[in-house]
């Protein structure tokens, strides 16, 4: 898949107004942003563009199909990447985001056919589209194949809904866990060492009960 350029997206704030997706809700309420913050955001976007371009170049379609950050309906696939360059400049996340704060979301429209569809995106705090809207991107065409923006996420559970106005409409969703302990991942990481420890315990018990070891222990007794 060829490297693609990113572009900023204009979105609605859920109240009918127009705003930039890379503004936090607090900034939208104030209606202003500092020049220093804008420069920092621009530098962060440039860094993410560079990192993401390298990621896209290194991943073919076959590897993408096995990627847990990919959602597929028929032949149409999308890929989600999340970045927090203020904490880890080179780290890329998907549905598990380690800290609350400004988060860059990048949606790659893997299949070129999706560039001819109007696609919208909505981020809610919760699991239902009826929950509180954090950011919303109105349906639009994305000829470069990339949807990109920034929003501020506090600790908690969020969901990203991506809707493509095709026939029939395509609907993708990603759960986002922000600054939450992933007990399932911890359990999976601990399973291997626990199994190895149990095997060693069983082998040690059998070894201690073997006739040879029993004879050796008997010979050591005074």
Domain boundaries, the chain: 10-178, 183-220
Distance of CA 222 to the CA centre of its chain: 66
**10-178: what fold?**
Immunoglobulin-like (2.60.40)
The predicted pLDDT at position 168 comes to: 86
Residue 136 tokens, joined: 């919303």
Cα within 13 Å of Cα(198), Cβ side? 6
User: Rounded distance, CA 174 to CA 151, Å?
Assistant: 15
CB 21 within 8 A of CB 9: yes
Residue 56 tokens, joined: 């896209």
Residue 22 tokens, joined: 């890379």
Residues 6+ apart with CB under 8 A from 83: 44, 48, 51, 52, 91, 92, 93, 103, 104, 106
Angle 43-123-170 (CA atoms, 0-180°, nearest 5)?
110
Residues 6+ apart with CB under 8 A from 168: none
The full 3-state SS of 161-220, as one line of letters, equals EEEECCCCCEEEEEEEEECCCCHHHHHHHHHHHHHHHHHHHHHHHHHHCCHHHHHHHHHH
CB 63 within 8 A of CB 79: no
The predicted pLDDT at position 8 comes to: 39
Per-residue CA distances from 206 to 58, 170, 201 (Å): 49, 58, 9
Per-residue pLDDT of the chain (222 residues), as tens digits, is: 333 433 434 444 443 333 335 433 443 444 444 444 445 454 555 554 554 444 444 444 546 667 889 999 888 999 999 999 999 988 999 999 999 999 999 999 998 999 999 999 999 999 999 999 999 999 999 999 999 888 999 999 999 999 998 878 899 999 999 998 766 667 777 778 888 888 888 888 888 888 887 777 777 776
* 154 three-class SS: coil
Name the nearest CA neighbour of 24 among 126, 94, 118, 100.
100
């Amino acid at each position: 898949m060829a490297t693609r350029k990113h572009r900023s997206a204009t979105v609605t704030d859920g109240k009918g107004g127009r705003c930039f997706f890379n503004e936090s809700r607090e900034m939208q309420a104030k209606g202003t942003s500092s020049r220093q913050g804008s420069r920092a955001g621009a530098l962060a976007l440039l860094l993410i563009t560079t990192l993401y371009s390298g990621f896209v170049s290194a991943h073919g379609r076959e590897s993408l199909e096995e990627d847990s950050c990919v959602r597929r309906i028929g032949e149409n696939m999308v890929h989600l990447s999340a970045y927090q360059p203020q904490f880890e400049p080179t780290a890329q996340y998907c549905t598990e985001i380690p800290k609350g704060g400004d988060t860059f979301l990048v949606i790659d429209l893997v299949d070129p056919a999706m560039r001819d569809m109007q696609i919208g995106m909505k981020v809610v705090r919760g699991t239902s589209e009826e929950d509180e809207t954090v950011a919303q991107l109105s349906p639009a065409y994305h000829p470069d194949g990339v949807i990109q923006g920034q929003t501020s996420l506090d600790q908690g559970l969020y969901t990203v809904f991506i809707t493509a106005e095709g026939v029939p409409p395509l609907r993708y969703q990603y759960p986002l866990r922000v600054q939450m302990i992933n007990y399932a991942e911890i359990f999976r990481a601990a399973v291997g060492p626990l199994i190895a420890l149990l095997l060693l315990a069983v082998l040690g018990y059998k070894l201690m009960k073997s006739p040879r070891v029993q004879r050796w222990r008997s010979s050591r007794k005074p």
